Structure 1
Amino acid sequence: MKSGVVSVNGVGISTTKRRWRGFVIAVLGLVFLSMLVPLVFLIGFHHAFHSSPSSSGSGFPSQQQTSLDDRAVGAYESHHYSNYNTMDPERVGKQDLGTSFHIGINGSITKGHPENHVDKNVQKASPERYNVNINSPMALNQGDESEVLCELRFGSYCLWRREYKVAIIDSMVKKLKDRLFVARAYFPSIAKLPAHEKLSKELKQNIQDFERMLTEATTDAELPPHVENKLLKMEAAIAKAKSIPVNCNNVDKKFRQLVDLTEDEANFHTKQSAFLYKLAVHTMPKSLHCLSMRLTVAHFQNPSVGLDDSVTEKFVDPDMYHYVMFSNNVLASSVAINSTVLHAKESKKLVFHVLTDRQNFFAMKLWFIRNTFKKASIQVLNFEDYNTIPGLSLSEEFRVTYQVAKLPKMHYKTNYISLFSHSHYFLPEIFKTLDKIVVLDDDVIVQQDLSALWRLNMGKMVNGAAEFCAVRLGQLDNYLGNINFNRTSCAWMSGLNVINLTSWRKLNLSEKFQTMVQEFRREGRLLEAAASRASLLTFQDLVYALDETWVRSGLGHEYGLDVQSFKNSAVLHYSGNMKPWLELGIPKYKSLWLKFINREDQFLSDCNVIP
């Protein structure tokens, strides 16, 4: 045939060849696609795996951080010691009585979470009411991130944890847990390989042995004998498993699950430790509670003798040196008074007025009758007799975290601002015959004679106080509300305050304070939270800045202070959580406080107060 087409049984050979050619092309296309799709998937997975913002430095994405339990991060930093005897976790977390200030580089502050200014990708903590935060987030150095986050969330707990960090113990138990972790990750993949059934059984047996040992032992001393042999067998089995080609995805998935479980456990223990730390620093120690109760019982068993008229006259004599202290802690107030008297040149001119609550009134009264302080006179007053608001509120303390301007980025400093509570604004009404007083907090000790304070010429100023100029009121404008104030004014501190009661009455500052408190309370804030804001504003442009040699604060928070550097300070203020009468107090500063305790008193021995 001229056409060149051969016909076999009526079907053209050229037609058959074209059909086979199309079939081969289709098969090759399917093979190519079957190789391309997994390749694209693996490349995309690898890219997502390494570029994920949640990935940790070890190559595995870290678990999403669990939001902090309210019980662990209660914002209330005030030291109302006797009110915490019935404390429970829910109360600690839900107290709406305090504030954390977080001040940024540019001073911009907004309400929100303490972590907002750290990293947008970081899981936010539980909300702390009345928190103040910066608007713009800041980049964190990878090496500093964990420490910065810890201090922002848990405050001085992080400092305490670093100070008391101990060397790793029970290293064998930790090594067993590590090998068990790896064996569990490889076992599912090895078990799916029929050719390695023997290795699978070996791994399973080793895992069961390790689990049994770790269930019965938590320390190296509790481990059974020949544990080293079992460890060697496990390591040999793991080495074999690593040498066998397995599906990496399965191992990776198992590792992630184990990492997540481990991080969950670590996060839980961190929050639990921070909560227990907060509970410890906010709770009246058992020994001090015993002291107050025994003194109260002793007072009613043997009614104390009344004061003579000559001593009573000193309480209203404006020519005496009058010191006022708000306290419900018998031992703390005694140490503050004793240190003041011991360094006074004329102790007979000193008059101390201790204002306490009804619960501790009789204990305080008996203590200061039993103990003499040279020729100083001491008057114990029940504050609730002068105040319609039940209870006594002490100076409020608030944690402030800010960046040090002169140092490189990411260098943060934490300090505590101590302010008057609403109880302090009854002073002009309580001491109507006095023109000038010195207010001491009960967490101070005095190292020099304070008589020079009575010769200070404060002019028109009302409150002589130490200023904290690392934080200015302009940085707290969103926190303080829509009220006109001097943005350049420094925050001032309680602890040692010289008060001109004459100017106070003339300017009617108590009424001004109460007005601001009512305005803040209309915004839904509790009394203590409103009082802290009003205290910052009541004395604006009326604070006389005391020389820095008068007061050294931070002894209840800062570990790195040089003891020699503040020996010349007149007053040492244990501002912060770690008060010197607590077991958590900073040891190298506690010795300065302990030397003013009257160790001969029988009540102290009976209650094991003396360490």
Structure 2
Amino acid sequence: MHFYISSGGAKRVTISKGGGCFWKVMKVMKVKGSNRRFSYRSVLPTVIIAAVLLPFLFIRTAFLALESASHCSSTTNCIGWRLWPGFFREGDTSMLLKMDRAMELARLKGSIYRHLASIGVPKSMYCLSLRLAEEYSINARARSPLLEVESISRLTNNSYHHIAVLTDNILAASVVVSSAVKSCGQPEKMVFHVITDKKTYAPMHAWFALNPVGPATVEVKGLHQYESATDLNKGLLEVMEIYRSMREHYYQHGGGIGGYGRLEVLRPSCFSLLNHLRIYLPKLFPELEKMIFLDDDVVVQRDLSPLWGLDLNGKVNGAVSSWDGDDGRKRCFGGRFADHLNFSDPIISSGFEHDRCAWLDGMHVFDLQAWRGTHITQNYLRWLKINQDSGFTLWHLGALPPALLAFDGHMHRIDPSWHLSGLGHQQSDVDRGMLKAAAVIHFSGPAKPWLEIGSPKLRSLWTTHVNFSSEYVQSCRLM
């Protein structure tokens, strides 16, 4: 270590760390042109002052950085003039401010572009819907019934395995159905209930009419075909009215996540009627006792038949929620209640445990008969109204939080190997063993497999089940 002392010329004191002691050896050099010598006593005060001041300056800078983060428009600007008015020159501060603004603008643009890429409908999928709608109007085969007369009774026969898919995405629905049929040991026992909206009904029907998945049974039904169900429509109107108010509130206040929250508010899945229709499954299928529910962004890799013999112990909702590890620690696959609900509000904190594991949404076994003996659907609507009266502050934006509250006490934990989620967050480094063993893989997140922003490595698990031999898929240049 060298200390340069300007006193009548250049002088240097060398301090060596040899021998394991910092001050053990001191080499003193004679100053050129002088008989004076400098010992360690002449530099010791400087070392002591530096040792005392440097930690103080470091701690002081850290506190100023924290303080500036909440009170100043620029951290660098605050630290610069508060630590020492001459710490930064005016030009340097201006340049740093411009760099901060440029970085913030780049992050905002990146979020906007990624959001637009995640919610947009690819031109090829829009083309597929239009082509099939046209085919439905001019081709009698595309309008032909999906069920033979003798097969209609299967729709209400509880000896069959019933699977519900609520979607307006034709290609996604085809992948769910085809992957489930390919993975099933007894496909003739499977009955798929595909519910869609009015505008997608014709092309959805045309797809399954032109691409049958026998020996399984497929029913396609539009929401407009439930118009005679007064209670159902009244409940749906109440739900959507609350969600419409919620959307306006979140958009005006940034969705509780700063400016980026407005992007989440514009995500169609948060306010899609089909996304909230699942809470009315007992009314949609009044004759059925048990049903498997699948989101449209899943791929089935293993036979789901064993789920029909699963004992839910009187509970309504069978889903993956947690796993007790060999080390005795519990892992929550869907996060904890505190990740979805606002426990700073006494309405939430007084009735729920913040460390309780939330269940994964997207693959469920529902005991519809047990559900009809509860108030789950009424409680769901009640919680939506409580949240509205509280200024929409009880939970984070999404469809899962109110369902967690409504199904509280009615959830049965199933084995984690049945459902692996999160593949829509570009987790290309996901554990390959878990990926292969999962019965249902779920592309939850913005990077859906039918979008270009999806992970190429994971997308192949989905595209394997796309019917590329279809003339409509080829003409629209899908994927």
CA RMSD in angstroms comes to 3.5
Q: Which residue identity lines up with residue 478 of structure 1 in the other structure?
A: F
Q: What is the SS of the residue equivalent to 1:457? A: coil
1:122 partnered with 2:73: no
Assess if the C-alpha contact under 8 Å between 1:520 and 1:530 holds in 2: no
Aligned counterparts of 2:209 and 2:67: Cα–Cα separation in 1: 59
1:492 partnered with 2:359: yes
What residue number does 1:364 align with? Answer: 204
Aligned counterparts of 2:212 and 2:473: Cα–Cα separation in 1: 16
1:308 partnered with 2:148: yes
Q: What is the SS of the residue equivalent to 2:358? A: strand
Q: What is the SS of the residue equivalent to 1:381? A: strand
Assess if the C-alpha contact under 8 Å between 1:473 and 1:489 holds in 2: yes
1:478 partnered with 2:425: no
Out of 157, 162, 169, the residue aligned to residue 317 of structure 1 is: 157
Aligned residues: 359
Q: Which residue identity lines up with residue 454 of structure 1 in the other structure?
A: W
CA offset at residue 260 of structure 1? 2.3
Aligned counterparts of 1:339 and 1:555: Cα–Cα separation in 2: 17
Q: What is the SS of the residue equivalent to 2:424? A: coil
Aligned counterparts of 1:583 and 1:361: Cα–Cα separation in 2: 26
Please list the CA deviations of residues 59-105 of structure 1 after superposition, one character each: whole Å capped at 9, or x if unmatched.
xxxxxxxxxxxxxxxxxxxxxxxxxxxxxxxxxxxxxxxxxxxxxxx
1:594 partnered with 2:463: yes
1:477–1:254 Cα change, 3 Å? closer
Out of 396, 401, 408, the residue aligned to residue 533 of structure 1 is: 401
Assess if the C-alpha contact under 8 Å between 2:424 and 2:446 holds in 1: yes
1:277 partnered with 2:224: no
Matches within 5 A, 1:3-82: none
Aligned counterparts of 1:497 and 1:250: Cα–Cα separation in 2: 60
Out of 494, 501, 523, the residue aligned to residue 390 of structure 2 is: 523
1:284–1:340 Cα change, 3 Å? same
What residue number does 1:462 align with? Answer: 316
Aligned counterparts of 2:156 and 2:407: Cα–Cα separation in 1: 26
What residue number does 2:81 align with? Answer: none
What residue number does 2:422 align with? Answer: 554
Q: Which residue identity lines up with residue 292 of structure 2 in the other structure?
A: V
CA offset at residue 523 of structure 1? 2.6
Q: Which residue identity lines up with residue 170 of structure 2 in the other structure?
A: V
- 374-383 or 448-457, which deviates more: 374-383
What residue number does 1:584 align with? Answer: 453
Q: Which has the larger radius of gyration?
A: 1
Q: What is the SS of the residue equivalent to 1:355? A: strand
Assess if the C-alpha contact under 8 Å between 1:294 and 1:603 holds in 2: yes
Matches within 5 A, 1:202-601: 252-303=89-140, 304-306=143-145, 307-386=147-226, 387-388=232-233, 389=236, 421-467=275-321, 469=332, 471-473=335-337, 476=341, 478=343, 482=347, 485-487=351-353, 489-525=356-392, 532-557=400-425, 558-601=427-470
CA offset at residue 360 of structure 1? 1.1
CA offset at residue 287 of structure 1? 1.4
1:120–1:607 Cα change, 3 Å? farther
Aligned counterparts of 1:499 and 1:378: Cα–Cα separation in 2: 19
Question: Gaps (5+ residues) in structure 1?
Answer: 1-46, 57-118, 126-248, 402-416
**Identity within the alignment, %:** 28
Assess if the C-alpha contact under 8 Å between 1:517 and 1:530 holds in 2: no
Aligned counterparts of 1:455 and 1:482: Cα–Cα separation in 2: 38
Please list the CA deviations of residues 439-497 of structure 1 after superposition, one character each: whole Å capped at 9, or x if unmatched.
00111111111100000011111100011526333663527761554415321122210
Q: TM-score, normalised by structure 2?
A: 0.67
Assess if the C-alpha contact under 8 Å between 2:318 and 2:366 holds in 1: yes
CA offset at residue 529 of structure 1? 5.0
Q: Which residue identity lines up with residue 443 of structure 1 in the other structure?
A: D
Q: What is the SS of the residue equivalent to 1:567? A: helix
Aligned counterparts of 2:94 and 2:58: Cα–Cα separation in 1: 15
1:376–1:355 Cα change, 3 Å? same
Aligned counterparts of 2:279 and 2:431: Cα–Cα separation in 1: 35
Q: Which residue identity lines up with residue 493 of structure 1 in the other structure?
A: L
Q: What is the SS of the residue equivalent to 1:319? A: coil
Aligned counterparts of 1:51 and 1:529: Cα–Cα separation in 2: 39
Q: Which residue identity lines up with residue 482 of structure 1 in the other structure?
A: I
Q: What is the SS of the residue equivalent to 2:472? A: helix
Aligned counterparts of 1:385 and 1:585: Cα–Cα separation in 2: 35
Assess if the C-alpha contact under 8 Å between 1:480 and 1:533 holds in 2: no
CA offset at residue 586 of structure 1? 1.1
CA offset at residue 532 of structure 1? 4.0
Q: Which residue identity lines up with residue 472 of structure 1 in the other structure?
A: R
Q: Which residue identity lines up with residue 279 of structure 1 in the other structure?
A: L
Aligned counterparts of 1:531 and 1:262: Cα–Cα separation in 2: 38
CA offset at residue 51 of structure 1? 5.1
Assess if the C-alpha contact under 8 Å between 1:314 and 1:320 holds in 2: yes
Assess if the C-alpha contact under 8 Å between 2:239 and 2:381 holds in 1: no
Q: What is the SS of the residue equivalent to 2:450? A: coil
1:531–1:522 Cα change, 3 Å? farther
Assess if the C-alpha contact under 8 Å between 2:417 and 2:434 holds in 1: no
Assess if the C-alpha contact under 8 Å between 1:335 and 1:445 holds in 2: yes
Aligned counterparts of 1:269 and 1:430: Cα–Cα separation in 2: 46
1:357–1:390 Cα change, 3 Å? farther
Q: What is the SS of the residue equivalent to 1:439? A: strand
Q: What is the SS of the residue equivalent to 1:369? A: helix
CA offset at residue 288 of structure 1? 1.2
Q: What is the SS of the residue equivalent to 1:340? A: helix
Assess if the C-alpha contact under 8 Å between 2:167 and 2:196 holds in 1: yes
Q: TM-score, normalised by structure 1?
A: 0.54
CA offset at residue 519 of structure 1? 2.2
- 335-344 or 538-547, which deviates more: 538-547
CA offset at residue 372 of structure 1? 1.7
Aligned counterparts of 2:176 and 2:200: Cα–Cα separation in 1: 17
